[in-house]
Structure formats: structure tokens, C-alpha cells
Amino acid sequence: MRRNRRVKIVATLGPASTNEETMRHLFEAGADVFRVNMSHATHDGLREVHGIVRKLETEFSRPIGILVDLQGPKLRIGKIESGTMRLTKGDIVSFVRREDVGGLGRVHLPHPEIFESVENGHMLLLDDGKLRLRVVEASDVRIDAEVLNSGLLGSRKGISLPDTVLPFGALTDKDRADIECANSIGVSWLALSFVQRPADIEEARKLSKNRSAIMAKIEKPTAIHFLKEIVDLADGIMVARGDLGVEMPVEKVPGLQKQISRAARNAGKPVVVATQMLESMIYAPVPTRAEVSDVATAVFEGTDAVMLSAESAIGKFPVEAVATMNSIAVEVEHDPLHAAIIHAQRIDPQATGADAISAAARTVAETLDLAAIVCYTASGATALRAARERPQQPILALTPIPRTARKLSIVWGQHCVLADDPINLDDMVAKACRIAYEEGFAKAGQQVIVTAGVPLGKSGATNLLRIAEVDPTADDDIP
């Protein structure tokens, strides 16, 4: 099955969609990667999803990615005596370490790390940012904060600290157990929540033992401060606009989305735009016009993937939501302005032989109007470089490694096919032409350009760039 678009679609699974029949329909509608949110999923549930995805791979002869989204640390206040308490603008509320039921201007905060790190003037955001407070006095046992807007505060509501760097990593004991489970079944991607610093990425990679690619979710102001370092260390980036819009003014989020996307593109790392893209489709069979424009903007930006969350996890119309996102992406990519905008955002190649080869392949393919760019890749690096160029021609990635093919399922423009190692260079080129023909990327007599960035299997090809004519009658088993 070949997609008629370059941007990829990530569909979150949940009660509305975690069954084989619905997942099959989601894939047919356009889902390229299935996301499992470990805030709600169990290890048995993850194994069930993995089994269904591998069955669908066999059925459709296409690699399908799984993105395991780790929960990360959850900071919450304690219980409130009456269930809720009213906070009035101008009041001073005391957050205390001592375990006690909250009430009468006092809130239990069972996180010693906050008391150790917060400073006067720092902001406290409660209940997804609905209530905002500013710290006026802080000590090891008590934090006094002024209420900036009135509202009701309920028991066990979440607390965010956008100005405070907390002295713990992004991984909890639960996350470590979830990583171990994900490694045992071989998932493609791990999404790391609430990244604060580059060290968070290093810890996750050490735990994953490089068996899964690491995607850093950018949702905290401190992550923006370390954005370059985080992008350099991670395998991919997610613009997690929900929590980012809680911890920062919402009017800053669109600009940050572009900043993060550009940083990932510069580094040749896939970037996913997430949260509330088609939010109204949780309850309605069609999206709002503003939501359509939101998805379209991400596609025009050249983002690698757009993601559905609650729309496909708990919504009433999960398949329709994926189909709608697919239709929007196809329409945008066929818009005459799309190619011009993508071209204007093109990034200069890095000063390496592999990047120079990828840039040359894109230039040659566009100048000669070739049918496709065919990349042989073992780790996925060559295909990522080709995608970084955002060429007009489709990219056909050939790899003998299933894990690499599944990793590339989230990358812009990649159509991945599992193929045996070529015997020699002639065999490599012949296989590329045959598969391009069989997959519908080239007709007989058309030309493709074949690249390989590193030594690959028996062929030993490295920094290869060759133009070849497609001949479906040729034998690719060249001795």
C-alpha cells in the first residue's frame, strides 16, 4: 500500500480503537504509526497492540511503527478536606510539606523536590494552568504564593512549575519498567515526557540500550532553553503543544512550534506536531475550519508527522479522524504553493560526504525530473538525510532490517520496503529499479537515482550515487 502524501500520521490508541478491526481500518484510512500512551496502558495491553500491529504488517506487507509514550513524572497536590477549595485573586495560599488534608488557605504538596528548588517570583500553575499563582516566599517546608486568578481547586490536581528546574530526571520507576517492556517486544520509538535537560535523553538511551529510537517531547520552558542540545541527542522531536501551552503563554506556542520544527529539520531529525489538531472530532464527524487550517499549517511547514490523540483514542469517530487528516494532508501537498514553501525552507547540507551525496541526489533528481530517489540504508541515516532535503521526488527506502523500516515509518516522504542485501553494486542498482517498478514509483523506461551512504552488506557500497533506467524485464540477481 502506497500513501499519496509525504507527511505521516500518528494515531493514538485507546478504548475507542484498541482492537484488530478498528486498527486495520485506521491503517487503511492513513495511520502510519500507532501511539500507545503509557499513562493509561498496561504492559499486557502494549503486548496486545504489538501483536496486532505485526499481524497487520504481514497482511499489508508494510512496516508499521509503534510509538510508546512514557508517562513521566506527574506532580500533584494532596487531598483537600471538602474536595474543593475556592482561591480568590489576591489571596495567599500556603503549600506545606507536612502530610495533612488541605483547606482554609493551606494545600498539601507531597513533593520535597519542589520545596528544594522553587524561588520567589516563580509561577505555580494548577489544574492544567486554570489557576495561576506567584511565589512570594519559599522555604524548605513551606511555599506562600499569591493567587493571580480566582477559581476552584480540587483534590489531587496537577501542578506545573514553568520557571523551576526540578532536581529529578524525566524518568520514573514506572517509566523504567515500561521501557523494559517496550524493549522486550521491539517497539520503534519511545517518547520521553517532560524533558528538562540533555541528561534526560542520555538516561533514556542508556535504559533503552539503543533498541528503540528516542523522541523528546518538548513541553517545558527549560527544554526550550536546551533545545539545540536536546535535538542533537534525541532521534526525533515532538512539539507537545498541550503542556507547552500550559507552562508558557498560549500566544507563544505557534512561534515555538516553528522554532522547534526548524531546529529538528536543521539536524535531520523527524519532528511530530501533536495535541488538539482535530479536537472537535472527539464528538463530531467533521472538524472545525480552524482545525483544518491548523493541520494544513503543519503540513505546509514540512513537519514529518501530525498526531491524533483523544480523537482516535476515545473519540466517537476515530477512523473518520484519521481519514480527515489524511485528506487534508493530500490536498495541501497537491496545492501549488506547497512545493514553493517547502523549497523556501530548504536547508543547506552539512559538511559531510553523506550529506553532500543526499543534496546532490535531490538536485539531480529534480533537474532531470527522475521518477524517484532510492536509498539503501541499514541504520536509517541515509534515508533521514534524503528526507532532510525535502525533494520533489518520492523517496523509496530499502533496508534488510525490520527495525529500521519501522523507525522510518514516522519520517517525511519515506516509503520503506524490506529488501535483502545486494550482492554487488550492479545488483544494488538492479534491485532498486525492480522494486521502484513493483511499488509503483517508476514506469518502464523512466529513470531513478540510487544512493547508499555507508557500507551496506555484501555490496560494500558507500557514498554511492547512480542514475539507472527502469527495466522490469531485467534480472536483478547479478552474480
Point out the catalytic residue in the list 6, 205, 217, 220: 217
Residue 35 designated active-site: yes
15: number of Cβ within 10 Å:
10
> Could you give the CA distance from residue 371 to residue 376 in angstroms, rounded to a whole number?
16
Measured CA to CA, the distance from residue 54 to residue 409 in angstroms comes to 14
End-to-end CA distance of the chain: 31
DSSP state letter for 280:
G
Q: Is 62 a catalytic residue?
A: no
CB-based contacts of 278, cutoff 8 Å, min separation 6: 287, 291, 295, 308, 311, 321, 324, 325
Please report which helix (H) or strand (E) contains residue 331, including its range: helix 318-333
**Cβ distance 98 to 76 under 8 Å?**
no
134 is catalytic: no
Alpha helices in 90-220 (DSSP H): 112-117, 173-185, 198-208
Compute the distance between CA of residue 32 and CA of residue 71 in angstroms, rounded to an integer. Answer: 22
Catalytic, 275? Answer yes
Gap between the Cα atoms of 397 and 416, Å rounded: 5
Q: What residues form DSSP beta bridges with 156?
A: none
Of the candidates 54, 76, 211, 346, the residue annotated as catalytic is: 76
Q: Are strands 84-87 and 92-96 parallel, antiparallel or unpaired?
A: unpaired
Q: Tell me if 110 sits within 8 A of 155, measured CB to CB.
A: no
Beta strand 372-376 pairing with 236-240? unpaired
- What is the length of the chain? 479
Which secondary structure element, helix H or strand E, spans residue 293, and what is its range?
Answer: helix 289-300
DSSP-derived secondary structure for 366-421: HHTT-SEEEEE-SSSHHHHHHHHT--SS-EEEEES-HHHHHHGGGSTTEEEEE-PP
Give CA 186 to chain center in angstroms.
17
Q: Which of 8, 35, 62, 388 is catalytic?
A: 35
Q: Which of 12, 18, 164, 275 is catalytic?
A: 275
Q: List the catalytic residues.
A: 35, 76, 217, 275
